[in-house]
Amino acid sequence: MAHAGADSRQSGVGRQLEAKILELLASRAATSTICPSDAARALGGEDWRRLMEPAREAARRLVDAGEVHITQAGSVVDPATARGPIRIRRAP
């Protein structure tokens, strides 16, 4: 069975979420964070919840690219092991 992230990338939704995350961060102060739901809501409209895991996966790819950090309780965390609510901020 294909992983949801693979489906998101193949459909282009993953790339759209990556771009939206970067766009949202660019419109805020350098130290500000966003929630993956901000990107999911911006692209998904009323059906945004289905985009939550793809948004988290997009954030992980952006971490791998050195574009962003994922944080929990204000501290940078490993996206592979982060569970529960996360925030996304621009990498310095």
pLDDT digits 0-9 by tens, 2-32: 344 444 444 699 999 999 999 999 999 989 9
Gap between the Cα atoms of 62 and 25, Å rounded: 12
Residue boundaries of the structural domains of the chain: 4-90
What's the confidence (pLDDT) of residue 72?
96
Q: According to DSSP H, which parts of 12-68 are helical?
A: 13-26, 36-44, 52-64
Q: Which letter does DSSP use for residue 89 in this model?
A: E
What's the confidence (pLDDT) of residue 11?
61
Kindly tell me the number of DSSP H helices and DSSP E strands found in the chain.
4, 4
Fold entry, domain 4-90: Arc Repressor Mutant, subunit A (1.10.10)
Mean pLDDT of the chain: 89
pLDDT category at 55 given cuts 50, 70, 90 is very high
Q: How far is CA 61 from the centre of its chain?
A: 8
